[in-house]
Structure formats: C-alpha cells, structure tokens
C-alpha cells in the first residue's frame, strides 16, 4: 500500500480535528480528498507527510510508519502544502536548486531542467517566484514536490485560487504526473474530483463519511433529481405539481421553479409539453447541480 491510515485521531487542545480516521490508498491511485473548510483535510495531510504527529493511530507511507521512519517516508513523499508556501525573493531555478539540495540530489541541474520542462515553466524559468502569476507559482510548487521523484504525491488544495484557464492547465498537469504516481489531493470542489480522480474519500467534521469510486459520486448523490425551470409566463402550480414523476415543486423568484422528481424518471419532455399546454414557453431548463453542502447534509444525517 502507498498510504495506510488506521484509526488516526488528532486533537488541537480540546478540539478533535480528526476522529478515528482510517483508509488506505493503493499504488497508482489518484484519490480526491473532499470536504468543506475545517473538515480536517490539511490536518490529515500534515500527519501523512510527517509535519505533525497524530494523538492516536497509525500512519504508513510505502509500508513504513511515518513516526518510526520519518526521513525515509519523507523521501518517498512529494508535498504541496496548502497555499503553496514559496520563497518569493528566490529565482525559480535558485529555489529548485535549494530544494534539490535538501534532498541531496546528485545531477540536480539535469533534474531541474527536466522538471522545468515537465511542469511547463520554460518561459518563466529565469524570473523571481514573486513575479509569477498564481498558476505559474503553482507549477513551481509542483516542481518542488516532484524534484526527488517521489512515489507518493500529497497535494493540499492545489487548484484553489486559480482562474479557469490556470485551473484547467494545472488539472491536466496533475493528471499527467499522476499517471505514474500515487496521488492524494484535497479539494472542496466536487467537480474537481470528477475531473481528476479515480476515487473519492469524503471527510466531514474529522470523520470519513464516504469512500467510493469517483464515477459513483454522481450516483451516490443523485437520489434526488432536481431541475431548475423558468417559464416565460405564470403557470398553474397545482397542475405542475401533479405531473407524473414530480415529487414536489419549489417556487424561486418570478416564474422560476425547482422541481424535485423521482430519480428514475426523466420529466423534461413532460415539462415542455406542460409549458405548451399552459400557453407559455420554457426559457431555462437545467439540472440543478448538487452543492457540496447538500451532500454533506445528506451524508451526515
């Protein structure tokens, strides 16, 4: 196993940040670690990477206990910490050289060249880190995590704060890198998990509440189908609520409604027919995306 976490509990003073957390990750998996702010994602990652100890439980990386073999396990882990801490006054190459020195790499110059190419930093390689855009800073963060060619990558919210273009590029990069490594990446964005990961572990209030294939994420949470529909004119709500398959309707502003339906029926066609029968048209019809908050509510109640 690449990562094994067994009954790990972490207290900050009185507060329990992790409550008997267990999971394991196989070599080559890309696992999304999903949870709202304060769920315990960063704490779990800091324990795996050996930055802080747990109060109880066991943590292994590449079959070695992180508290018994801290240096050996660190040599197998690449870590991009939350908010990507970097030295802004250092030049890109200088910084990567500095990190290579920490790992006592031989041939560090060749390795730095290779990484700069791999993460797409060629055009920016002679700049100071502080001068780079957020997306390029993130590439430097990924390069430092990869410099010693670790087996396991721990990425703590690697795409937070990026604009949509940068986001797309960094996601692609993580997928490319992840093809040959075990990756655990935390995020609070559900779509991110669907885009990058094989598997998803969901944490809430320091407890694992779900652990499944990422492709099951939708199935897991689409028990309720919700459609947002906007009619051009006012409609008869009573008739709408009695359409086949409709469980309940919820009026938003003006002629906008949220329609909850049984998940096995597709009511979109009936909704169009209904609009015609009502002498109006449909201006908007879309499946309402389930928000992470709703999922946590579902999972924790």
Task: Name the one range near Mg ion by CB under 5 A: 20-28, 37-45, 73-81, 277-285.
Answer: 37-45
Nearer to ligand ADP, 138 or 225 (CB): 138
Nearer to ligand ADP, 28 or 36 (CB): 36
Cα atoms found within 13 Å of the Cα of residue 31, Cβ hemisphere only? 24
Nearer to ligand ADP, 12 or 98 (CB): 12
Residue that has been written with the tokens 């002498």 in this structure? 279
User: Should residue 42 be labelled a site residue for Mg ion when binding is judged by CB under 5 A?
Assistant: yes
**Cα dihedral sign, 79-201-41-88:** positive
Nearer to ligand ADP, 10 or 111 (CB): 10
The pairing of beta strand 152-156 with beta strand 182-187 = parallel
- DSSP label at 1? -
User: Should residue 187 be labelled a site residue for Mg ion when binding is judged by CB under 5 A?
Assistant: no
The pairing of beta strand 77-80 with beta strand 282-287 = unpaired
Give the ranges where 60-184 is alpha helix by DSSP (H).
70-75, 92-102, 108-118, 134-146, 164-178
Number of CB atoms found within 10 A of residue 215's CB: 13
Residue that has been written with the tokens 């689409």 in this structure? 222
Query: What are the tokens at 280?
Result: 């109006």
Q: In what order do the strands lie in the sheet with 246-251?
A: 246-251, 256-262, 224-231, 282-287
User: Should residue 144 be labelled a site residue for Mg ion when binding is judged by CB under 5 A?
Assistant: no
Of 16, 23, 43, the C-alpha closest to 156 is 43
21/5 Cα distance (integer angstroms): 7
Task: Report how many residues bind Mg ion under the rule CB under 5 A.
Answer: 3
Which of ligand ADP, Mg ion, none is residue 144 near (CB under 5 to 8 Å by kind)? none
Q: How far is the CB of 82 from Mg ion (least distance, A)?
A: 5
- DSSP label at 11? E
107/246 Cα distance (integer angstroms): 66
Nearer to ligand ADP, 36 or 97 (CB): 36
Q: How far is the CB of 274 from ligand ADP (least distance, A)?
A: 43
User: Should residue 2 be labelled a site residue for Mg ion when binding is judged by CB under 5 A?
Assistant: no
Which of ligand ADP, Mg ion, none is residue 98 near (CB under 5 to 8 Å by kind)? none
Nearer to ligand ADP, 79 or 95 (CB): 79
Are 154 and 84 spatial neighbours (Cβ–Cβ below 8 Å)? no
Nearer to ligand ADP, 182 or 187 (CB): 187
Residues that bind ligand ADP (CB under 6 A): 12, 15, 17, 35, 37-43
Task: Name the one range near Mg ion by CB under 5 A: 17-25, 78-86, 91-99, 143-151.
Answer: 78-86
Residues 232-291 that bind Mg ion (CB under 5 A): none
Q: How far is the CB of 203 from Mg ion (least distance, A)?
A: 11
Which of ligand ADP, Mg ion, none is residue 37 near (CB under 5 to 8 Å by kind)? ligand ADP
Task: Name the one range near Mg ion by CB under 5 A: 27-35, 79-87, 167-175, 190-198.
Answer: 79-87
The residues of the shown chain that bind Mg ion, judged by CB under 5 A, are 41-42, 82
């Amino acid at each position: 196993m690449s990562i094994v976490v067994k009954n790990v509990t972490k207290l900050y003073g009185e507060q329990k940040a992790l409550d008997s957390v267990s999971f394991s990750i196989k070599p080559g998996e890309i696992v999304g670690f999903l949870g709202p702010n304060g769920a315990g994602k960063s704490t779990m990652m800091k324990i795996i990477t050996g930055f802080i100890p747990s109060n109880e439980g066991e943590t292994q990386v590449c079959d070695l206990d992180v508290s018994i073999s801290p240096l050996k396990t660190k040599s197998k882990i690449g870590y991009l910490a939350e908010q990507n801490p970097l030295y802004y006054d250092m030049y890109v190459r200088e910084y990567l050289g500095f990190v290579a020195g920490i790992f006592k790499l031989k041939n560090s110059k060749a390795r730095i060249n290779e990484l700069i190419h791999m993460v797409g930093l060629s055009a920016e390689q002679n700049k100071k880190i502080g001068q780079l855009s957020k997306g390029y800073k993130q590439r430097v963060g990924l390069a430092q995590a990869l410099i010693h060619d670790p087996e396991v990558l721990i990425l703590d919210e690697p795409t937070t704060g990026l604009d949509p273009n940068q986001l797309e590029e960094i996601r692609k990069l993580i997928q490319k890198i992840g093809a040959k490594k075990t990756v655990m990446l935390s995020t609070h964005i559900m779509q991110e998990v669907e885009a990058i990961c094989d598997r998803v572990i969901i944490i809430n209030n320091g407890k694992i509440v779900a652990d499944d294939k990422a492709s099951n994420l939708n199935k897991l949470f689409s028990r309720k189908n919700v459609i947002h529909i906007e009619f051009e004119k006012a409609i008869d709500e009573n008739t709408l609520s009695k359409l086949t398959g409709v469980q309940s309707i919820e009026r938003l502003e003006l002629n906008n409604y949220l329609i909850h339906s049984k998940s096995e029926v597709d009511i979109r066609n009936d909704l169009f027919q209904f609009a015609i029968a009502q002498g109006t048209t449909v201006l908007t019809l879309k499946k309402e995306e389930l928000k992470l908050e709703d999922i946590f509510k579902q999972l924790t109640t």
